[in-house]
């Protein structure tokens, strides 16, 4: 369990209609372009959900357990549905098409990625685009777009599984172009792009905690037919000098060290807007270098940015954290809804964050629809560092996660580990949320770097006017050490090796706050599923998600374990029949909950970790409703690895 929990810190009103029309299928990653993850299907209900059973399973063969010469694999994909076919990807940068009702393989596409330098391989999904100008049955009339572990965007014929040769160079564009020096394994596209009209908009994951001048997090739009670059958004403050003026090497078009968007964006096709969630700029816990040479890489960091899909022009931006020193990047997809307020129905955007803050903004302007307060926060004493004097706090809904812990909150299975946890908390810098890193002394980070809400994000239930989401409760702590010289003896005692941060003046020791038994130092639950009312802003219900007893049967003798929620990675889908389906937890189960009151109604043990977002649809031939989830585990979280896509339906 100790390894599992440490790994987490590294990862990773009735009748209201959603923002866009939703059908019975699942055509894009979040269910619809708005990312609501809501399905109108009602065949599976609270009354019969316990009759769900496995309808079929498909094995990709792509797992580092099966292929030990490949990088550690994570199977996190959510399939998309078209023409009774499911399309999805594996961490090994292969795309798959299978029959939606039988799981029978239609084709497999191998992008043959360069695996040099890749530590973990992951792909959360693909995107579909339909060429309305192409004739029926024309090659590549419907295209599958997939990012790869070696930094490419590939286009695949949805019918045949062949590369679309007219897209880019032989069916791919190189996303490393214009970024300057990109080291092996330093950049990958791990989440699906956004398709809006005839434009493919993509971000990418960058290893932004290894060097000061890591590749930039530019957002680019590509012509869906040709792969021609339509526009690029370089996330630096307006008026910043170009990289060439700063002496960048020939061929580097975009600034280094900027925040990247490794998660999933949302789209509003009617307004032709793309909403991009940005992470923090490198380095995660050291930021004194972020305003140099007239370039401010913090300007769009930790912000949701609305871009015109035709031009890449910024329509508005809203920053959820100023000068992030806690790895509080925005991991969750923005969710677009229509919100009733004072008798008016307003276009809204809901952004979940790792801090447990939900920001509700006007979708056209970015102005908060409820007050957001700039409150004073603790200030740094580290030489060469700076902190924002204030941070934004939403007032509706109120923060969903505790804002601090104290020694009185220490928890343990025995007096021995309780005392050890209490001592750790008392010895640390601890001024609540946004306590900045300190030299030679541990600082508590709570919420921890895994959230709050992580990339699993929100699902919107318009039947009950609820936001449904998993939440983590894990404390992390770190301390800074001078880069030179580093005390070798002290370094050897670190549970996680210090990260040498390029030319940064400091290295960081970072770990989960655990007892000597490897158990979190705070009382469970350590993970939950909760629902928030958009009418009141209050939690309607919250239930523990997952138990160590289910993950480790040898612990079944301990009477408290069944109630202890576990940290998770992945999100929920909700249906009109008032069900929420969710895997995500470390114990390898998929579950169904009542959205009315949070009761667990069904569970099924998966063949491997279900750290993905499930999806649902109706089969065209059978008329049956299916629920599908990727069960292949998460390498960082040390869940069981595998290669299985599992589909459930009601027993005949």
Q: What is the DSSP letter of 497?
A: P
Structure tokens that stand for 422 in this block: 């209490």
Q: Which of 327, 417, 550, 643 is catalytic?
A: 327
Q: Which residues of 186-197 are buried (b: 16+ CB within 10 A; e: fewer)?
A: bbbbbbbbbbbe
Cα separation, 122 vs 570, whole angstroms: 13
Cα separation, 240 vs 263, whole angstroms: 26
> CA–CA distance from 388 to each of 320, 402, 451 (Å)?
12, 21, 21
Alpha helices in 335-395 (DSSP H): none
State the chain's maximal CA–CA distance in angstroms: 73
Decide: 391 and 375 in contact? Cβ < 8 Å: yes
> Tokens 């946890």 identify what position?
421
CA atoms within a 13 Å half-sphere pointing along the CA-CB vector of 121: 30
Coil, strand, or helix at residue 462?
Answer: coil
Closest to 602 in 3D by CA, of 124, 36, 44: 44
Cα separation, 163 vs 130, whole angstroms: 15
Cα separation, 94 vs 456, whole angstroms: 22
Coil, strand, or helix at residue 80?
Answer: strand
DSSP 228-242: -EEEEE--S-TTPPP
327: annotated active-site residue: yes
Closest to 303 in 3D by CA, of 237, 378, 254, 370: 237
Decide: 127 and 196 in contact? Cβ < 8 Å: no
Active-site residues, by number, are 327
């Amino acid at each position: 369990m100790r390894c599992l929990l440490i790994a987490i810190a590294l990862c990773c009103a009735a009748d209201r209609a959603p923002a866009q029309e939703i059908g019975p299928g699942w055509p894009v990653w979040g269910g619809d372009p708005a990312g609501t993850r809501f399905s109108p299907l009602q065949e599976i209900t609270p009354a019969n959900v316990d009759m769900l059973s496995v309808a079929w399973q498909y094995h990709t063969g792509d797992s580092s357990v099966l292929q030990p010469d490949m990088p550690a694999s994570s199977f996190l994909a959510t399939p998309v549905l078209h023409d009774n076919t499911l399309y999805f990807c594996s961490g090994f940068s292969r795309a798959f098409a299978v029959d939606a009702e039988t799981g029978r393989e239609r084709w497999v596409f191998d992008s043959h990625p360069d695996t040099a330098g890749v530590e973990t391989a992951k792909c959360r999904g693909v995107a579909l685009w339909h060429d309305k100008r192409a004739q029926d049955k024309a090659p590549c009339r419907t295209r599958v777009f997939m990012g790869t572990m070696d930094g490419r965007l590939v286009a695949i014929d949805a019918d045949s599984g062949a590369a679309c040769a007219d897209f880019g160079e032989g069916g791919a564009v190189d996303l490393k172009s214009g970024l300057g020096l990109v080291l092996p394994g330093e950049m990958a596209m791990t989440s699906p792009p956004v398709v809006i009209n005839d434009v493919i908009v993509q971000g990418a994951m960058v290893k932004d905690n290894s060097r000061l001048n890591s590749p930039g997090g530019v957002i680019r739009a590509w012509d869906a037919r040709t792969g021609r670059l339509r526009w690029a958004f370089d996330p630096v403050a307006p008026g910043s000098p170009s990289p060439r003026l700063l002496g960048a090497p020939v061929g580097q078009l975009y600034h280094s060290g900027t925040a990247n968007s490794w998660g999933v964006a949302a789209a509003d096709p009617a307004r032709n807007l793309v909403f991009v969630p940005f992470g923090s700029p490198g380095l995660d816990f050291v930021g004194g270098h972020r305003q140099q040479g007239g370039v401010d890489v913090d300007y769009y960091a930790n912000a949701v940015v609305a871009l015109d899909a035709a031009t890449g022009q910024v329509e508005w931006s809203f920053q959820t954290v100023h000068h992030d020193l806690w790895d509080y990047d925005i991991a969750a997809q923005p969710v677009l809804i229509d919100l009733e307020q004072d008798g008016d129905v307003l276009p809204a955007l809901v952004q979940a964050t790792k801090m447990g803050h939900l920001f509700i903004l006007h979708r056209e302007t970015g102005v908060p629809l409820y007050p957001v307060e700039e409150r004073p926060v603790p200030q740094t004493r580290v030489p060469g560092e700076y902190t924002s004097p204030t941070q934004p706090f939403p007032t509706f809904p109120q923060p969903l996660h505790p804002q601090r812990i104290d020694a009185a909150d220490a928890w343990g299975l025995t007096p021995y580990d309780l005392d050890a946890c209490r001592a750790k908390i008392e010895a640390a810098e601890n001024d609540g949320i946004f306590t900045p890193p300190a030299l030679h002394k541990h600082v508590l980070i709570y919420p921890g770097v895994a959230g709050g809400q992580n990339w699993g994000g929100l699902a919107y239930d318009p039947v009950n006017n609820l936001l449904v989401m998993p939440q983590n409760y894990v404390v992390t702590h770190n301390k800074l050490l001078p880069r030179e010289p580093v005390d070798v003896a002290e370094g050897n005692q670190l549970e996680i090796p210090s990260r040498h941060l390029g030319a940064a003046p400091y290295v960081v020791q970072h770990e989960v706050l655990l007892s000597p038994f490897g158990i979190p130092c705070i009382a469970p639950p350590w993970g939950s599923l909760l629902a928030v009312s958009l009418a009141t802003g209050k939690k309607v219900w919250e239930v523990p998600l997952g138990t160590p007893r289910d993950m480790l049967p040898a612990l079944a003798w301990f009477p408290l374990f069944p109630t202890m929620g576990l940290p998770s990675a992945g999100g929920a889908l909700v249906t009109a029949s008032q069900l929420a389906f969710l895997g995500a937890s470390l114990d390898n189960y998929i579950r169904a909950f009542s959205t009315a009151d949070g009761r667990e109604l069904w569970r099924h043990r998966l063949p491997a970790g279900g750290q993905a977002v499930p999806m649902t649809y109706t089969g065209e031939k059978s008329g049956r409703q299916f629920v599908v989830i990727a069960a292949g585990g998460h390498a960082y979280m040390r869940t069981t690895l595998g290669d299985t896509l599992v589909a459930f339906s009601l027993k005949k």
